[in-house]
Amino acid sequence: MRTGFARTGAAVFLAMSLAGCAAVTTSIEKRNLDVQVKMSDTIFLDPLPPQARTVYVEVRNSSDRPDFDLAAAVRAGLEARGFRVVEDPDAANIILQANVLQVGRTAESAAERALAGGFGSALEGAVIGGAIGYGLGKAGGNDALLTVGGAIAGAALSTVAEAAVQDVTFTVITDVQISERVRSGGLVDQNEAQNLPQGSAGTVTQSYATTTEWKRYRTRIVGTANKANLTYEEAAPVLVERMTQVMSNML
């Protein structure tokens, strides 16, 4: 019995040491806020003379964070770059449309896959969580009570350490469409096709062709903010600023 207690104590001490080391490492490596914003595809537009730099902006937010407001910041960013934001799309030479699809805490790997998928691809909602504590099952030899006690103690200590220091990533995923008016009265032949899911097994395919005076470009913009114990209140303003910079500099 004494040997069993000794093994359990050693296992619990090891769990405490590992949990503490992991927490300290995370707090040091992730002490500074790291914000990155990336585009899935590059967009090139024809240069416009100053008098023709008119843009119509439509930014929507279909995420579950309606307080994440990009619209006003994007308009201000475009005006700072010399564009005149108009309320009538017929008076614009460029139309910038964006939809904020997701705002929240996700795994970094999910953000990378969302970026790789590009405009219109499916999203994941992998929220970071879980516990570390395991592996103490053999601490008490054949003594089942010691085994359970060691496992519970190790898991509890690891969970407490994780709760104190967490590696947190907040992600913003936005699909963007830019329409550029064809100059000198030119026209563009446009062909589109869509597959619309119906029920659990069927799909409906729609296609159409038209002539338009707009050239259209699409991309996905993914912004991530990472830091130890990062909160939404700290991440959101910086993500708005950096997303605005990228979207404004696309034109």
Mean pLDDT by 10 residues, the chain (251 residues): 55 50 58 92 94 97 95 97 97 98 94 94 59 38 46 49 77 98 78 69 75 92 95 96 96 93
Residue 207 is predicted with a pLDDT of: 77
Radius of gyration of the chain (CA): 26
Residue 132 is predicted with a pLDDT of: 34
Alpha-carbon gap, residue 235 to 245, rounded angstroms: 16
- Placement of tokens 């590059």 in the chain: 42
The answer to whether the predicted template modeling score (pTM) of the entire model surpasses 0.85 is no
Residue 91 is predicted with a pLDDT of: 96
pLDDT digits (tens, 9 = 90+) for 168-205: 999 999 999 999 999 877 777 777 776 666 766 777 77
Nearest to 176 by CA among 129, 242, 243, 231: 243
Residue 112 CA to its chain's centroid (Å) = 8
Q: Is 133 exposed, middle or buried (0-12, 13-18, 19+ CB in 10 A)?
A: buried
Fill in the amino acid letter for 172. V
Alpha-carbon gap, residue 101 to 12, rounded angstroms: 44
Structural domains for the chain: 1-31+129-165 (no CATH), 33-127+166-249 (3.40.50)
Alpha-carbon gap, residue 105 to 157, rounded angstroms: 24
Q: In sequence order, what DSSP letters do the residues of 157-168 get, joined into one string?
A: HHHHHHHHS-EE
Task: Please give the structure tokens belonging to residue 225.
Answer: 């903010």
Fill in the amino acid letter for 59. V
CA distances (Å), origin 160, targets 23, 98, 154, 165:
10, 41, 10, 9
Helix axes 144-164, 2-29, angle to 10 degrees: 20
Long-range CB pairs of 129-136 (<8 Å, 24+ gap) are 131/155, 131/158, 131/159, 131/162, 132/18, 132/19, 132/22, 132/158, 132/159, 132/161, 132/162, 133/15, 133/19, 133/157, 133/158, 133/159, 136/8, 136/11, 136/12, 136/15
Count Cβ neighbours within 10 Å for each residue of 194-218 and write b for 16 or more, e otherwise.
eeeeeeeeeeeeeeeeeeeebeebe
Task: Please give the structure tokens belonging to residue 188.
Answer: 């563009």
Residue 238 is predicted with a pLDDT of: 97
